[in-house]
Amino acid sequence: MDEYSTGFCIRTAAARGGGTGSKCGRWNPTGEQVKVLTELFKSGLRTPTTDQIQKISAELSFYGKIESKNVFYWFQNHKARDRQKRRRISVDDLPTTPTPSKQFGSAEKNEAERVIETLQLFPVKSRLYADDWKENSYNHAMEMDHPTLDLRLSFV
C-alpha cells in the first residue's frame, strides 16, 4: 500500500548500545531506556496502568524521545514474547524419548510477587456469540436512524 512518511527525526546521537547512528521512523529506545524498562519488567511489572505508563514515559523522556505508546507497546510485546517463549519451552517434547519430566518450575525469573501466572492451558470458555446479534442483547434504537447507508460501490 502506501508508504506513510514517518517522522524524520534525525537523531544522530548514537546513544544506542552499539553506537550505530539510528534513524527514526519508529521509536528506537536508547540503552538506558531499555535498561530501565527491563528493570521494571524484572521487578514484576507486566501490565502497567495508564498512569504508570505516563510516569515511566515522562521519566524516560530524559534519555531521548519517547512517547507513552512506546512504553505501552514495549510492555505488551515483552510480556507477550516472554509468555510465548515459555509456552514453547513448556510444551517441549522432543521426538524420541527425551526427558519426559517436564520442568515446569518456571522459577528462574520469578522475582515478582505479583506475577500471577494463571494457568490457562486449554482454550476454555470459547464463548462464541458469532451471530447472536440477531435480535437480542441491547437495543439502542434511540441513537438515530442510520443515515443513508447506501454503500453503493462505485468501482466494480
Partner DNA sequence: GGAGTATGAATGAACG
Partner DNA sequence: CGTTCATTCATACTCC
Contact 65, 11 (CB under 8 A): yes
Rounded to the nearest angstrom, the gap between the alpha carbon of residue 59 and the centroid of all alpha carbons in its chain is 20
State the helix-helix crossing angle for 50-60 and 31-42, rounded to 10 degrees.
Answer: 150
Q: What is the closest distance, in whole angstroms, from the C-beta atom of residue 142 to its own copies in the complex?
A: 7
User: Measured from the CB atom, is 5 or 99 closer to DNA?
Assistant: 5
User: Measured from the CB atom, is 62 or 138 closer to DNA?
Assistant: 138
Which entry of DNA, its own copies, none binds 107, CB below 5 to 8 A by partner kind? none
Which entry of DNA, its own copies, none binds 11, CB below 5 to 8 A by partner kind? DNA
Q: What is the closest distance, in whole angstroms, from the C-beta atom of residue 132 to DNA in the complex?
A: 9
Which entry of its own copies, DNA, none binds 62, CB below 5 to 8 A by partner kind? its own copies
**Nearest-angstrom CA–CA distance, 22 and 12:** 6
Q: What are phi and psi of 39, to 5 degrees?
A: -60, -45
